[in-house]
Amino acid sequence: MSELCGRTLDMKADSKWSARVELVRSGDYRDNMNCRWTVTAPPNHRLMVYFKEIDIDRRFFRCDDYLSIYDSNTTNGAYLDGASKLCGETRPRHFLYTSGRSMTLLFVSDRHGDDDGFDLYFTAYHIGNCTEAEFRCKNGRCIHKSLKCNGYQNCGDESDMCYSKTGSIVGAVVAVIFVTLIVVGVVFICRRRRQARNGNVHIKTTESVPMQPAQPMYPPQGQAPPQGYPAYPQPGQYPPPGQYPPPGQYPPPGQYPPPGQYPPPGQYPPPGQYPPPGQYPPGPYPPQGNPNMTYAPPPYSAVSEEEPSKVAL
């Protein structure tokens, strides 16, 4: 902008329908600047201004450096709405419009430090019927056709902007993927909660197994001993103490006399000569080991089982 100070831009004469103004292209603006620049639109046109960036020195809520935009071709007129004294880094968020064909920019700086300056662009437009060389905006404004799709909002409603179809497609695909992930996540969470309520979710835990007491080596009373163990005599069938026969003189299995009828010790008959159970004769029995004594079993078949006969010795 420094090279434009004190000059006037006639857009019709210069065949300009829009222009961009930067205070500085690189570095900081100079100290003690007092730059005035006037812009005039073609007949029956007005100007629309939009700020891209602004960084003008401001200290303690006071504008030491500032930019003012007047709604006329001099600095004696009124300011544009919202552009009386601009400083700091807060730019106007809305578009500024002139009421006539001209506007004047005034930039002032002091000698105490500088910042980056400002960057703005402006467009000439009119309202009414658009010619073949013009583009009609959705808001009813007419701008030059060359300003369509140039990367700037020359209409003020983005109707002159052209966005890449590729970018739109990519954006749509990303949006669909994002929504799909959200839906899948919600369905998964709802399903897990439903399974938890129905008790279908199994949680594996490690439990310690308690120590079991050792099983007894012998079976309980009343049960047969396991294979390989000797048979247990039933209660009441043991012979009285002192009447057990000596080793080697037990009768064969199945020929034991009933309890209470065992002969006295030393008077058992030789092995093989025991009478059947229940037919033992009453004593006295001959002493065991006498070679002159023999034992002849009586004819048990003729003797009653209730009272055995006496045996003659």
The DSSP line for 207-220 is -PPPPPPPPPSSPP
CATH number of domain containing 88: 2.60.120.290
Between 3 and 290, where is the model more confident? Answer: 3
d(CA 68, CA 80): 8
User: Which whole-number Å values give the CA distances from 145 to 18, 124, 148, 155, in the listed order?
Assistant: 11, 12, 6, 11
Highest mean pLDDT, choosing among 20-34, 137-151, 245-259:
137-151
H or E element in which residue 20 lies: strand 18-22
Q: What is the pLDDT of residue 12?
A: 94
Instruction: Provide the terminal-to-terminal Cα distance of the chain, rounded to the nearest Å.
Output: 163
Give residue 244's pLDDT.
62
295 is a domain residue? no
* φ and ψ of 35, to 5 deg: -110, 130
When pLDDT is cut at 50, 70 and 90, the band that residue 304 belongs to is: very low
> Is pLDDT of 294 > 90?
no
Q: Confirm whether 86 is domain-assigned.
A: yes
* Lookup: tokens for 25: 């292209």
For residue 209, pLDDT over 60 is answered with no
What average pLDDT does range 288-295 have in this prediction? 54
In the predicted structure, residue 302 carries a pLDDT above the cut 80: no
Residue 218, in any domain of the structure: no
Please, which pLDDT band fits residue 113 given cuts at 50, 70 and 90? low
Give residue 300's pLDDT.
47
How many other C-beta atoms can be found within 10 angstroms of the C-beta atom of residue 28?
Answer: 15
156 occurs within a structural domain = no
The set of residues, in sequence order, having a beta carbon less than 8 Å from that of 135 and lying 6+ positions away, is 142, 143, 144, 145, 147, 148, 155, 160
Which H, E and C letters describe 141-172, residue by residue? EEEEHHHCCCCCCCCCCCCCCCCCHHHHHHHH
Query: Does residue 244 belong to any structural domain of this protein?
Result: no
Global pTM value: 0.52
pLDDT at position 203 is 47
Query: Is 66 within the bounds of a domain?
Result: yes
Please give the tally of structural domains in the chain: 1
Rounded Cα distance between 47 and 96, Å, is: 8
Question: What mean pLDDT, rounded, does the chain reach?
Answer: 76
Q: Which two tokens stand for residue 62?
A: 């006071």
Average pLDDT over residues 212-230: 59
Q: Is residue 98 part of a domain?
A: yes
Q: In angstroms, rounded to a whole number, what is the distance separating the alpha carbons of residues 264 and 287?
A: 10
pLDDT at 49: 97
What range does the domain containing 101 cover? 2-127
Task: Output the pLDDT for position 27.
Answer: 56
Q: Which residue has the higher pLDDT, 265 or 122?
A: 122
269-271-272-278 Cα dihedral, nearest 10 degrees: 50
Does residue 7 lie within any of the structural domains?
Answer: yes
* Residue pLDDT, tens place only, 70-98: 999 999 989 999 899 998 888 888 999 99
Share of the chain above pLDDT 70, in %: 57
